């Protein structure tokens, strides 16, 4: 089955695309017609499942092992994806780590890891992607609703790292706008994934903070990413879009 959509002929890379929001995004972009590369660290089988599903949709796909905590691999994944699929039009910076806990429990190792994955890797991948992209290129980064509203203690390190992406995205929009490349940021709220299931032990408290009174789905976040990756969002750049059920309302 060959898909027909807004991204026909485009090539996309979704980091951390083996599960959750990343996998849903990879599949949504493929349904819109894009060929898709996904990166993974430990989820090889899950990433290969995503590839097989993309191929069933009639698109090309490749799974690449790349550790976002490693600077060389974070940038190298972009080059490998472009080589495997013949270019790059869309980068989705989805890979991230969430280390939560009281300040006194977070040592230099945790700080280095979170900043390496959530900030440095995004910068390096975006820089590498920008060098590959022409007019119409899209950089979409996954943030968090916690940059808009921190609901309680324990999220200082994680929120700090994700907040850095706001400045990065706005600066990328300014730097790349003259080349017709957009950069935008999506802030998911509580989203039903295997890392944060809607029936998990912390779900009730998260639901209570939303206006809609429920978790979102990975597909709902992916649909916003697909919009930003497509032609209808050609005049949207440097923006923060919340898909959070009213968490920040």
Per-residue pLDDT tens for 181-232? 999 999 999 998 988 899 888 899 999 999 999 999 999 999 999 999 999 9
pLDDT recorded at residue 113: 96
Query: Can you list the domains of the chain with their CATH numbers?
Result: 11-243 (3.40.50.720)
pLDDT recorded at residue 151: 84
Question: Is 135 buried (19+), middle (13-18) or exposed (0-12) by CB count in 10 A?
Answer: exposed
DSSP state of 213: S
pLDDT recorded at residue 4: 61
Q: Which residues in the chain come in under a pLDDT of 50?
A: none
CA-based R_g, the chain, Å: 17
Active site residue 202: no
Which position among 158, 202, 227, 235 bears the catalytic label? 158
pLDDT recorded at residue 1: 56
Torsion, CA 67, CA 143, CA 241, CA 3, rounded to 10: 20
Instruction: Tell me phi and psi for residue 66, to 5 degrees.
Output: -155, 125
Q: Please tell me whether the overall predicted TM-score, pTM, comes out greater than 0.85 for this model.
A: yes
pLDDT recorded at residue 2: 53
Q: How far is CA 30 from CA 39, 50, 247, in A?
A: 15, 10, 29
Instruction: Tell me phi and psi for residue 200, to 5 degrees.
Output: -80, 175
DSSP state of 210: S
CA-to-CA distance for 117 and 189, rounded, in angstroms? 20
């Amino acid at each position: 089955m060959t898909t027909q959509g807004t991204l026909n002929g485009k090539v996309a890379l979704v980091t951390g695309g083996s599960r959750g929001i990343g996998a849903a995004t990879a599949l949504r972009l493929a349904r819109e017609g894009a060929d898709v590369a996904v990166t993974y660290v430990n989820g090889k089988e899950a990433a290969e499942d995503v590839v097989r599903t993309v191929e069933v949709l009639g698109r090309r796909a490749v799974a690449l092992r790349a550790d976002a905590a490693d600077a060389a691999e974070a940038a190298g994944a972009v080059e490998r994806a472009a080589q495997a699929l013949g270019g790059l039009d869309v980068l989705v910076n989805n890979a991230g780590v969430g280390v939560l806990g009281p300040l006194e429990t977070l040592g230099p190792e945790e700080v280095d890891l979170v900043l390496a994955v959530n900030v440095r890797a995004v910068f390096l991948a975006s820089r590498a992607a920008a060098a590959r992209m022409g007019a119409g290129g899209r950089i979409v980064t996954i943030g968090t609703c916690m940059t808009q509203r921190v609901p309680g203690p324990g999220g200082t390190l994680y929120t700090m790292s994700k907040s850095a992406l706001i400045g990065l995205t706005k600066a990328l929009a300014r730097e790349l706008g003259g080349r017709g490349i957009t950069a935008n940021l999506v802030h998911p709220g509580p989203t039903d994934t295997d890392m944060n299931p809607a029936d998990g032990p912390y779900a009730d408290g998260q639901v209570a903070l939303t206006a809609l009174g429920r978790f979102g789905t990975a597909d709902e976040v992916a649909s916003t990413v697909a919009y930003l990756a497509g032609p209808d969002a050609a005049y949207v750049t440097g923006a923060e879009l919340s898909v959070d059920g009213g968490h920040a309302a």
